[in-house]
Amino acid sequence: MIPASTDRRQTSANWQQQQAAGYRRPLELLADLGLVDELGPRLAGAEMLREFPLRVPWNFVRRLRHGDANDPLLRQVLPLALESIAWAGFVDDPVAESPAQRAPGLLQKYAGRALLIATVAAIR
């Protein structure tokens, strides 16, 4: 039997294994990218991390630019405190779906049709 590796850089054809071995801690990801000093203080707080947990597989991380705090791929996955600020002119419901919510996770905008949202994050 081949022992399981703890090296997240090891690639695998199995996407579930890649996800399981991926980064879950923002500071660990930043350390490997050489960005702790620059982006560490700007990370989101624990409350936001509970709502939007980090899970970044190595196959994605290897495409990031080391030392580049403005790498667009990094900005897609790194939860920064800036994202939790309420900005003037922006709303939580930009397409006005709140009146169509019949129950948590159930939207009905049109007669005879409904959208069931089956993710835990969407059901509040």
Q: Is the pTM of this model over 0.85?
A: no
What pLDDT does residue 56 have? 93
Reply yes or no on whether the pLDDT at 113 is more than 80: yes
Reply yes or no on whether the pLDDT at 122 is more than 70: no
Query: For residue 91, what are the CA distances in angstroms to 75, 96, 97, 107?
Result: 21, 9, 12, 18
CA 78, 84, 89, 95 torsion-angle sign: positive
What pLDDT does residue 75 have? 94
Q: DSSP labels for 72-98? A: HHHHHH--BGGGGSPPTT--S-TT--G
